[in-house]
């Protein structure tokens, strides 16, 4: 399924996302989920801090800069495939529907696509799962 993005590139970006997430979590501290309030959804995301994205990190932090630069270094077609992998990893798209994810990503435009990738605090996990699902399909 991957034509413009290599799995090595996806793994590298996932690693950068994991580093940024680790730094973000260190800034947030170890707060118990019940202390954050809100209701736990019956399905879907159970991490209430995921909504924060990378906001606790300064936009110019090394981790976010490296992640942003790695995403920006991709060709537009590779960025579309990275977004599609993320959507598969989130469970919003079946790997067999790869073409639907590509179409959706192309409609978003470059800026919105990059923003969606940068706002996903669980980008590492979603990319890893997306790679696994797409290879299995």
Question: Do residues 123 and 116 lie in contact, with contact meaning Cβ atoms separated by under 8 Å?
Answer: no
Q: Supply 44's token pair.
A: 């879907």
Nearest 10 degrees: Cα torsion 54, 59, 62, 64:
40
pLDDT digits (tens, 9 = 90+) for 49-96: 455 455 555 667 788 889 999 999 999 999 999 999 999 999 999 999
CA distance 89 to 72: 21
DSSP 46: -
d(CA 6, CA 121): 22
Question: 3 falls in which pLDDT band (50, 70, 90)?
Answer: very high
Q: Which two tokens stand for residue 135?
A: 């290879």
pLDDT in tens, 95-132: 999 999 999 999 999 999 998 999 898 899 999 999 99
């Amino acid at each position: 399924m991957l034509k413009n993005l290599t799995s090595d590139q996806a793994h590298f970006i996932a690693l950068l996302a994991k580093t940024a997430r680790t730094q973000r979590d260190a800034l947030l501290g170890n707060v118990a989920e019940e202390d954050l309030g809100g209701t736990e959804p019956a399905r879907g995301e159970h991490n209430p801090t995921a909504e924060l994205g990378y906001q606790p990190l300064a936009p110019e932090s090394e981790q976010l800069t490296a992640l942003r630069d790695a995403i920006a270094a991709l060709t537009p077609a590779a960025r579309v495939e990275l977004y599609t992998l993320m959507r598969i990893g989130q469970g919003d798209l079946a790997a067999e529907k790869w073409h639907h994810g590509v179409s959706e990503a192309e409609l978003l435009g470059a800026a919105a696509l990059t923003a969606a990738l940068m706002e996903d605090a669980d980008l590492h996990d979603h990319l890893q799962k997306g790679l696994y699902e797409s290879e299995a399909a």
